[in-house]
């Protein structure tokens, strides 16, 4: 299926989904004026995948504007476990220790901590690995970060992507990372103080 002319939303948020899909989150949503497509990726070994596809087909059966595309993948689903808040805070401490010695490593530990934070806050939506953009969308959409903080995270995301994809000479400044490390601490520490784990 060609995606030319479509707006593509990976793991779309609830506000993008029609009322009849509010209890289900497709893997992607493709939209253009005269065509609306739900994309469901079925991976080898994914439990209950066929039942989910059947249910999605039932949901769109009466929706003439919508259609379902199922993509079959041979990969096994990587389920990522939720970690305790204390572990995330320890990793943030390691990222802080690396700020001046190796800021690129600090940046990567920060992103791992940010995804772990999102998984802790939104376990039902983050059982699989998440894209950096999806993590920011979850945190911003729930009000955990302000619009300006979300913008700062997006700028840092671009730098993270360059480093993780091999741009080893990318300049990572400790001053870019430090406020974001503090931001995640501000999200986690009150929860830990309230007895959340």
pLDDT of 1: 44
Tokens encoding 69: 């595309």
- Give this prediction's pTM: 0.62
| Complete domains list, the chain, with CATH | 7-76 (3.30.70), 85-193 (1.20.120)
Whether 78 shows a pLDDT value over 70: the answer reads no
Averaged pLDDT, 172-185: 94
Label residue 73 by pLDDT band (50, 70, 90).
confident
Label residue 87 by pLDDT band (50, 70, 90).
very high
On average, the pLDDT of the chain sits at 84
């Amino acid at each position: 299926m060609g995606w030319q002319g479509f707006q593509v939303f990976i793991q779309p948020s609830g506000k993008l989904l029609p009322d009849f899909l509010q209890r289900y989150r497709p893997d992607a949503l493709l939209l253009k004026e005269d065509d609306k497509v739900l994309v469901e990726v079925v991976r080898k070994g994914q439990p209950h995948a066929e039942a989910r596809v059947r249910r999605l087909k039932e949901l769109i059966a009466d929706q003439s504007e919508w259609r379902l595309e199922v993509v079959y993948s041979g990969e096994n689903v990587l389920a990522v476990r939720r970690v305790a808040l204390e572990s995330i805070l320890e990793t943030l401490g390691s990222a802080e220790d690396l700020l001046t010695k190796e800021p690129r490593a600090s940046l990567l530990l920060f992103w791992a901590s940010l995804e772990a934070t999102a998984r802790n806050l939104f376990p039902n939506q983050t059982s699989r690995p998440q894209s950096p953009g999806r993590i920011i969308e979850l945190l911003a959409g729930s009000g955990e970060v302000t619009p300006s903080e979300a913008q700062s995270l997006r700028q840092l995301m671009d730098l993270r992507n360059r480093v993780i994809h091999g741009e080893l000479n990318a300049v990572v400044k400790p001053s870019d990372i430090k406020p974001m490390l503090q931001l995640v601490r501000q999200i986690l520490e009150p929860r830990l103080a309230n007895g959340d784990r």
